[in-house]
Amino acid sequence: MTLFKQFALGAALALAFTAVQAEALTGTLKKIKDTGSMTVGYRESSIPFSYLDGNGKPIGYAMELCGKIVDAVKADLQMPNLKVNYAPVTSSNRIPLLENGTIDLECGSTTNSVARQKQVAFGPTYFVINVTAAVKKDSGINDFAQLGGKTIVTTSGTTSVPLLKKYEKTKDLDFKEIYGKDHAESFLLMADGRAVAFVMDDILLAGQIANSKDPAAYKILPGSLRSEPYSMMLRKDDPEFKALVDKTIDGVMKSGAINQIYAKWFTSAIPPKGINLNFAETAAIKEAFAHPNDKGVE
């Protein structure tokens, strides 16, 4: 066989392999292969998970982990020049935008719950939070029981909403609830006095306080409505993409690289203001890293 024939045969086999590979793809990976692009959903103010830096670029702990997934997609599909788009999402529209194909992966501060698993799928847990409240230090409020009869704010579309309803009913309290479109707006409603407390995940409260004009003016209540796991969201019933996500994040955790990434965003100075949240790994977070899983909270 001549060199030319060997080259032609090799090229033909490569094209055939690529065609078979393309036909075998399903779900999100097929969509990405067919369109030549992938869209990552990010949050604008979920510090330090997913937020905008001083130049309007989405950054954060969740964004860095999702970057590992993007790299894995490029390698798996043999698309080093894959076009990666970024789209802002909110607590209210993140699931619809994932389901309708606007985004392919949501990277933020999303709780993995059994209820949400009926609509979407999740990668391995990358953080564990406690749902609590931030108040002004001079408010005189030291626990949830003192919030009865007062106006409180939380972010629309978050798990804090049903938790508040349940707590209100169980404790026979009466809250007046108002809602912010995102965490920044919710914090502002509390800071401006239109609400006495902002109920949200402890780390997100810590992020808002650290980036406020006067961090010393606020405190986080010691009580907790519930502990919740965070992870990235992907479309439901997409086993091929789910397997790639799990393998990628499992690898980051089992290699120990997760500890360096965590330290970068939670115990080091972060942009844009160079503030250190000083939020060390808790026992629950260490457990999640040691035994990667996608179990949702009830």
Kindly report, residue by residue over 194-219, the tens digit of the pLDDT.
Answer: 999 999 999 999 989 988 999 999 99
Question: For residue 160, which amino acid is it?
Answer: S
C-beta separation of 234 from 116 below 8 A:
no
Going by pLDDT thresholds of 50, 70 and 90, the confidence category of residue 13 is: very low
pLDDT of residue 10: 52
Q: Tell whether the model's pLDDT for residue 243 goes beyond 90.
A: yes
Q: What is the mean pLDDT of residues 7-13?
A: 48
- pLDDT, residue 173, reads 81
pLDDT digit string (tens) for 162-173? 888 888 778 888
Q: Provide the residue type at 67 as one letter.
A: G
Give tens-digit pLDDT for 254-277: 999 999 999 999 999 999 989 999
Tokens of 193: 């006095």
State the pLDDT at residue 242: 98
Residue 174 has pLDDT above 90, yes or no: no
What percent of the chain is predicted at pLDDT more than 90? 77
Beta strands 37-42 and 105-107 are parallel
Residue 2: predicted pLDDT: 56
Number of residues written out for the chain: 298
The answer, yes or no, to whether the previous bond of 48 is cis (omega within 30 of 0) is yes
Q: Rounded CA gap, 226 and 231, in Å? A: 16
Q: Is the dihedral of CA 120, 121, 126, 131 positive or negative?
A: positive
- DSSP lists the bridge partners of residue 176 as 151
- Helices 257-266 and 61-77: crossing angle in degrees, nearest 10, is 140
- Among the residue ranges 9-13, 124-128, 229-233, 284-288, the one predicted with the least confidence is 9-13
Band (pLDDT 50/70/90 cuts) for residue 23 is low
Domains of the chain are 3-126+231-290 (3.40.190.10), 130-219 (3.40.190.10)
Q: How far is residue 155 CA from its own chain's centroid? A: 15
pTM of the predicted protein model: 0.80
Helix residue ranges, H only, 59-217: 61-77, 94-99, 160-170, 183-191, 202-210
- Residue reference for tokens 């509390």: 190
Q: Look at residue 16 and tell me whether its pLDDT is greater than 70.
A: no
Residue that the structure tokens 């086999």 belong to? 13
pLDDT top residue among 168 and 224: 224
Mean pLDDT of the chain: 91
φ, ψ at 239 (rounded to 5°): -60, -30
Q: Given a cut of 90, is residue 134 above it in pLDDT?
A: yes
- Give per-residue pLDDT as tens, 62-120: 999 999 999 999 999 999 999 999 999 999 999 999 999 999 999 999 999 999 999 99
Of 21 and 76, more confident: 76
